[in-house]
Structure 1
């Protein structure tokens, strides 16, 4: 009969797996290396399998270790959420909320929401990850993110997640002010330009990629930018062309540098959703932050 797995063994295993070495994990966990090594050995004896391969430069997980890590990290995240849920229901507003946001959300809606939330709950720590949904699915699955506000592509749904519609946003072709083709009226006039856009592997930009392919007018995407800041900075300071959210282009800080083009080809609107795991309820603080995002998404944007 397998030995009972203890919580400190799981924590030791996850720490070593994430940091790649017992030495780094012992420093992060404020434990001695022998104590950490003993916990790992006891865990391996308990599960009846090797979880790590020891090497001179550190450790790497075995195939079994990688599979076990998915379960172990999720257990620890679920336990954290459960403990914080109890504390918050007792009126002790502490703990943490981990969220993901798309680049345009980070620039427009997120600052007002976070400022209001922090004012109401100053003792709650907030962690914000920016990017497309495709980069956040593993963290959502493992419980490392409570939810994300993002777009998604309906052809690539993840059945483990729930999608709550919040709003639509318009997107436009954009160039820098003074660009040689800033008066272009068709995307076909821009096909020889260098374009930069986020990865087409998911969300709204996957929809654009397929749309351009269907119309036989695929732009030459020379640079793939994974962050909003990289994309906007490149467009603002070069002759690259991109497609960005209309409210981002109208931002007063960027407005002096970016010009939306009045092209004749209509672009689809982007639907933004509150996305989370289906089988996990948010803590009271997580639910409060999600509600603030819902309220802010209903506020009309002025252009």
Structure 2
């Protein structure tokens, strides 16, 4: 059998790439610089290729090194998950879960649900990454996220993922009550308005922008992009920004009496909310438990059952 790299060699390689130098990587991993250098020399000997070269700004990946790095990240992530899963099987309430979600779930049902789940699993570590699918897809594919819940992007293939849940929902133009444009009857009457859109390079919101600005944005149109609902709420409530969202958002307790749908005649395209995870990765018991709770709560909210 061909000699294989050791785990510590892969970790050292990953650290050098992350920190940009052998000196910084050795300090971060509490190793001596000579030991780190020998580790990389041994790794390159085993592989028979050069992974790193010295550049003006420190150590940089070679072409082969860039290919190898993506595999190393997957390998180390899967090993960490395997160890975590075994620990969770013996002690279900322990372990870590990292998941991604778009702004609506993060703002509506997740805060109270996560708080309750953490209380039930006090030793668990939960990390939430907010963003659109187009921005988080690489992290999902690399196994850095256990699962994702949010709006699907038609441009992104779902062939490598399990779709746990999927639902279509209508979207509307939404403004604060009393907004000067709150009674507008068409999108043309919203020319020159201020908008807050989720940050996305592709997908539903980009297609929506083309519908709202068919001739492109004018000098009077203002658009701010972001995935922070806290900032978005301040812009909508205090700076008269408009946004696009499902009618269900009007059921959020702190927004119920503060927002209204702008009754434009144009019907906006439906958005598809999905709950997905990577097929090859599977889920740890803790992640599966949390995903099920989030899926039920979010989809009940979207359908008005919550």
Contact 2:154 2:204 in 1 (8 A): no
Q: Which residue of 2 aligns with 1:130?
A: 130
Contact 1:196 1:241 in 2 (8 A): yes
User: Shift in Å at residue 218 of structure 1?
Assistant: 6.0
Contact 2:134 2:153 in 1 (8 A): no
Q: Which residue of 2 aligns with 1:77?
A: 77
Once residues 206 and 156 of structure 2 are traced to their aligned partners in structure 1, the CA distance between those partners, rounded to angstroms, is 10
Q: Which residue of 1 aligns with 2:153?
A: 153
Q: How does 1:175-190 map to 2 (within 5 A)?
A: 175-190=175-190
Q: How does 1:1-303 map to 2 (within 5 A)?
A: 3-91=3-91, 93-209=93-209, 211-212=211-212, 216=214, 222-229=222-229, 230-254=231-255, 258-300=259-301, 301=304
TM-score (norm 1): 0.87
176 and 19 in structure 1: CA distance in 2 versus 1, 3 angstrom threshold = farther
Aligned pairs, number: 301
Contact 2:168 2:273 in 1 (8 A): yes
Q: CA RMSD in A?
A: 2.7
Once residues 265 and 89 of structure 1 are traced to their aligned partners in structure 2, the CA distance between those partners, rounded to angstroms, is 52
Structure 2 portions without partners, runs of 5+ = none
Once residues 60 and 257 of structure 1 are traced to their aligned partners in structure 2, the CA distance between those partners, rounded to angstroms, is 52
TM-score (norm 2): 0.86
Structure 1 portions without partners, runs of 5+ = none
Contact 1:104 1:228 in 2 (8 A): no
Contact 1:184 1:261 in 2 (8 A): yes
User: Shift in Å at residue 92 of structure 1?
Assistant: 5.1
User: Shift in Å at residue 210 of structure 1?
Assistant: 5.5
User: Shift in Å at residue 155 of structure 1?
Assistant: 4.0
User: Shift in Å at residue 257 of structure 1?
Assistant: 5.5
217 and 189 in structure 1: CA distance in 2 versus 1, 3 angstrom threshold = farther
User: Shift in Å at residue 225 of structure 1?
Assistant: 1.1
